[in-house]
């Protein structure tokens, strides 16, 4: 089997290599899965560079989600040969094949776009939990987010619309406005020091209680300054490379609080039944086509350098996927 491997942390393009690895014999209860599609997420880039919150023991195979087809099963009835399944989170998915416990594999609903299914297990649940777990929003309320054109941001727009929430979507490029508006965004604003004033203008002075931050640094501060008294900023990323911060005016005089979110922590605490219900609900929406993330392009493992270069560039129109066993 082939796999992308890295043996040191550093600049992603310099540390990855495509290698041949021996097939692993199956143990009872295990299944062998050929990987059909797996995305390159921001967390993968941070892992390769050694900046993520949880780092693997090296050498390691990157990749945290995807879809595959079962090609062999040993002493288990949980899945059968030919089943198309979601790959386990954190399984090291940038490879042609992987081995996993058969009972950890969930079947992909028939008819689901496999490229969309490959992106289900990280960004959509992150978006759903950010909207629901920190502030008890009511239909008609506003929520503000930055990095609104990201995969999580787009999922937030879709899920908020379904729940009856209104979204203020902060971006760095004005040309993104038509695309996000077509997706369901209620307002698209440029990230600038005038953001709090623009929020008041757009909402008519409505009370905005929740801000969702993927950027950190000054962008976090601007979100906090745009919130109503007692509001909450939830940070889940640092695209700027700087930690999140709030102004003294926000923390002292408006009682704004800053929280953090990491999907891995939620999964360690949430009951298995709760996790299953969340993923089943989101999988149904992906299968129905109501939850959709644009794909910028697909690449074979052998083109990992090109794929990573594209994934790290600004101005992309969607997610970059690896298709280790050929085009879908």
Query: What would you measure as the largest C-alpha separation in the chain, in angstroms?
Result: 63
Total length of the chain: 328
3-state secondary structure of 270: coil
How far is it, in rounded angstroms, from Cα 9 to Cα 50?
Answer: 5
**Spatial CB neighbours of 49, under 8 Å, sequence gap ≥ 6:** 9, 10, 11, 12
Distances (CA, A) of 94 to 204, 228, 263: 48, 43, 20
**Beta strand 30-39 pairing with 67-73:** antiparallel
Distance CA 50, CA 298 (A): 25
Q: Which of the following is catalytic: 52, 261, 266, 279? A: 52
Q: Are 31 and 1 in contact (CB under 8 A)?
A: no
Can 236 be counted among the known catalytic residues?
Answer: no
3-class secondary-structure state, position 202? helix
DSSP three-state, residue 186: coil
Q: Which residues contact 124 (CB under 8 A, 6 or more apart)?
A: 155, 159, 282, 285, 286, 291
Question: What is the Cα–Cα distance from 64 to 71, expressed in whole angstroms?
Answer: 20
Residue 41: count of CB within 10 angstroms of its CB: 21
DSSP letter (8 states) at residue 131: H
Query: Rounded to the nearest 10 degrees, what angle do helices 217-226 and 195-203 cross at?
Result: 40
Contact predicate 78/112, CB 8 Å = no
Q: Catalogue the active-site residues.
A: 52
């Amino acid at each position: 089997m082939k796999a992308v491997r890295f043996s040191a942390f550093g600049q992603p393009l310099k540390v990855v290599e495509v290698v041949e690895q021996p097939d692993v014999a199956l143990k009872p209860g295990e299944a062998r899965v050929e990987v059909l599609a797996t995305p390159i997420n921001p967390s993968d880039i941070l892992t390769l560079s050694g900046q993520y919150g949880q780092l693997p023991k090296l050498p390691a195979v990157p990749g945290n989600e995807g879809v595959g087809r079962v090609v062999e099963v040993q002493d288990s009835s949980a899945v059968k040969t030919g089943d198309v399944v979601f790959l386990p989170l954190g399984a090291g998915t940038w490879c042609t094949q992987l081995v996993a416990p058969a009972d950890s594999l969930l079947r992909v609903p028939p008819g689901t776009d496999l490229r969309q299914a490959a992106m289900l297990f990280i960004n959509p649940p992150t978006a759903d939990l950010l909207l629901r777990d920190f502030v008890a929003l009511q239909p008609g309320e506003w929520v503000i987010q930055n990095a609104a054109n990201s995969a999580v941001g787009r999922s937030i727009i879709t899920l908020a619309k379904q729940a009856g929430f209104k979204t203020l979507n902060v971006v760095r490029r004005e040309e993104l406005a038509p695309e996000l508006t077509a997706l369901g965004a209620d307002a698209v604003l440029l990230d600038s020091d005038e953001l709090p004033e623009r929020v008041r203008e757009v909402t008519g002075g409505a009370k905005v209680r929740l801000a969702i931050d993927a950027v950190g640094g000054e962008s976090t501060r601007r979100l906090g300054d745009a919130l109503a008294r007692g509001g909450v900023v939830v940070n889940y990323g640092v695209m700027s490379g700087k930690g999140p911060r709030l102004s003294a005016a926000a923390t002292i005089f408006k009682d704004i609080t800053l929280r953090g979110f990491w999907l891995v922590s939620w999964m360690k605490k949430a009951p298995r039944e709760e996790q299953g219900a969340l993923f089943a609900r989101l999988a149904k929406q992906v299968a129905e086509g109501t939850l959709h993330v644009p794909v910028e392009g697909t690449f074979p493992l052998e083109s990992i350098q090109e794929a990573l270069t594209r994934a790290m560039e600004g101005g992309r129109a969607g997610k970059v996927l690896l298709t280790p066993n050929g085009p879908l």
